Structure 1
């Protein structure tokens, strides 16, 4: 009797009807956990694409390991990123770079190609695709597949919203130099310089091209800002010394000589200087 009264009371209060509706899927069933999540979503902004965000954090760690030449640790973190989000193209691109460093060209090729496939599909953006195309293009250049490399790099540069076009112009210039295309390389380096005026590699490469064209004054003007900065290298200082010598500037030559010997005393350039192996000899 008491059970019947209890059931009738539930019906009157609507509790049993709500329970039946929940079980049949006629209305939503809310657990305390779901209610708490709903309140959290109402008070804060949910993280967009949480899986990709988690994968990005693991890939950032993988990239840091890669930059420190810790390839095994980088590979582990890249794998962890893909376990979170198997469709993350940048993770496969980094794996391609790791294989490239290990001279495993077949595995690198496969990694880059899969990365390109994923980067060409949503939710990847044009900038994501450009990043992969840049890495793949540089890999192809290292394999002396210059035409394919330049195609990938130019496609990367052409992608809208790509913020590292200067880097790709620089890579394209280096690749064109390796292919013996000095005129095209100059154009690429100048495009890179317009986007990144302090890029040390670009300034050095343009100065080398000017020096090879017997234009020491133009080469020195291009190189001067670099050698006066903290980005000066043994190569740029050695070139600066040769330019000062060609332009009969003994004071500048002594200054750069002192800088080279102090900053890079064990470099091959310092040894060449000590032995007087100038380019014009």
Structure 2
């Protein structure tokens, strides 16, 4: 492909990274032991005015932990328990939407996200709460190839006051724009994500891919090098780094990255391609 990555490969890579970043950080986590101690504390103290929401938050934190461990049934049970405590809790509906999305039940996910969005838009909800729901809903819509409403939700999320995951939503917006074939807009979104989170591996990798596709191997290498020198390096980023060193005639750096790929990801498809000499510039 004359030194360029195939579109199918990097879109699949995008989907993997984005799904990981879409969930982590948006929901608080707790352990079952922490939840038990919290329940004991509730029994020993006089409830505060917001005790109902606090109890619901603890159940949802447990649900989020189960979700991150791929235990969807337990996560769904705990999220529903949170709603039994507080039926107006938007993040509980949002997590249920994520659970249904993972289970490939888009109609149920849609209903849950819409309910979450409605509750998060009420006057008593905070803009940051609304942004979390918009982020999750926007990514769901993007996964359904509904790019225009997906980008609208993600664009609104990054504009909400007090939202602490703005970099993540810029990254998700860039991914969605890539999927829609909007490379110029995606570059702007990834740049915005990196301005807020310089170590964001998805944004850094995808900017390097865009530079590589534009034939600027040197710029791509500058963008990618810090990622491949960090614990967040992936088989995909190392493989791209190897392609760049070949294009830039840097055999010593190529050998170093090849060794890193083989040591860190020996069973990856990229390591197999390296062993077979199936470079993408051939």
Which category describes the TM-score, using the shorter chain as reference length? 0.7 to 0.9
Cα distance in 2 for residues equivalent to 1:171 and 1:229: 22
**Secondary structure of the structure 1 residue equivalent to 2:162:** coil
Corresponding residue for residue 234 of structure 1: 235
- The higher-RCO structure (CA 8 Å, 6+ apart) is 2
Deviations 1:204-245 (A, max 9, x none): 000000000110111000110110111100000000011011
Corresponding residue for residue 212 of structure 1: 213
**Secondary structure of the structure 1 residue equivalent to 2:215:** coil
Corresponding residue for residue 56 of structure 1: 57
**1:272, CA displacement in angstroms?**
1.1
Cα distance in 1 for residues equivalent to 2:238 and 2:55: 44
Cα distance in 2 for residues equivalent to 1:209 and 1:248: 20
Q: How does 1:71-220 map to 2 (within 5 A)?
A: 71-220=72-221
Cα distance in 2 for residues equivalent to 1:277 and 1:169: 34
Deviations 1:177-224 (A, max 9, x none): 000000000000000000000011111000000000110111000110
Corresponding residue for residue 249 of structure 2: 248
Query: What's the TM-score, normalizing by structure 1?
Result: 0.83
Deviations 1:99-124 (A, max 9, x none): 00001000000000000000011431
RMSD of the TM alignment (CA)?
Answer: 1.1
Query: What's the TM-score, normalizing by structure 2?
Result: 0.83
Deviations 1:66-110 (A, max 9, x none): 111110010011011111101000000000000000010000000
Gaps of 5+ in 2: 1-44
Gaps of 5+ in 1: 1-39
Q: How many pairs align?
A: 238
